[in-house]
Amino acid sequence: MKKLMLVSILALAACGKKGADPARCKEVAAGAVDRMTGALVSNAALPDDAKATMKEKGEKLKEVIAKHCTDDNWSSEVLECYGKASTMPEIRTCRLKLSKEQGDSLQKDELAVMMSGGPAIKPEEVQKRIDDLGTQLEAAQQALSNATDDAARTAAKDKVVQLQRQQFMLKQQLERLKTAPGPAAPGSGSAAPASGSAAPQ
C-alpha cells in the first residue's frame, strides 16, 4: 500500500512539472503578435523592407512567447490575457501577471529579438510616418463627422480607430529610438543594435 501511495505521489509531482499546452501557447502567442503588428504591417506608408523586417521579427517573437508559455507553465489567466491582447500596453499588462522572474526573462528575450539585426529605422522616418498618419486621421475624423447613416459611421469609426492605433504604435517606437544608445565610438566595442520594429516593453 505504501509503495502504491509513493508511486501515486511521484506521478502527481511529475504532472505538476509539465508545462502549459504547447499548442495553446503557440495559438495565443501568434494571435497576440499578429494583432499587435497587423496595423503597422498593413500601413501603406511603411516601406516594404521595414514590413519584411517586422514580419520576420514577429515570427521569432511568437516562438519566444510560446516557449516561455510552455516552459513556465502559464496559468489560464495569463493565457486568456494574451489571447485577447492586441497592443503593446495590453501585452505588457499580460506579462505583469507573471512572476517577476518569469516576466523579466520573457522581456529580455523579446527585446533580444526586436533589437537584433535588420535595417535601422531613423527617427526622422518614423516621425514622417506619424505626420502622414495624422493627415489621414484628420480626413477620417472628418468623414466620421459627415457620415449620414449607420453603415458609413461604422466604417469611418473603424478607420479612425485603426489609424489611431497605428499612430500610437509609431509614437511608442519613436520614443524608443530617441532614447536608445547611439553607436559605440571606434575601439570602444560593438555598436548598439538597430531598432527594426516596435517591441512590447
| pTM of this structure | 0.56
In the chain (201 residues long), the average pLDDT of successive 10-residue segments reads: 48 50 94 85 73 86 94 95 90 93 92 70 81 90 92 90 82 73 42 44 56
Terminal-residue alpha carbon distance, the chain: 53
pLDDT at 191: 38
Helical packing angle, 22-41 and 76-84, nearest 10°: 20
List the chain domain ranges: 19-114, 123-178
Residue type, 18: K
pLDDT digits (tens, 9 = 90+) for 110-139: 888 877 765 556 788 888 888 888 999 999
Q: Which 3-state string (H, E, C) describes the chain?
A: CHHHHHHHHHHHHHHHCCCCCHHHHHHHHHHHHHHHHHHHHCCCCCCHHHHHHHHHHHHHHHHHHHHHHHHCCCCHHHHHHHHHCCCHHHHHHHHCCCCHHHHHHHHHHHHHHHCCCCCCCCHHHHHHHHHHHHHHHHHHHHHHHHCCCHHHHHHHHHHHHHHHHHHHHHHHHHHHHHHCCCCCCCCCCCCCCCCCCCCCC
pLDDT at 167: 82
512567447: which residue's cell?
A: 65
Phi/psi of residue 147, nearest 5 degrees: -60, 135
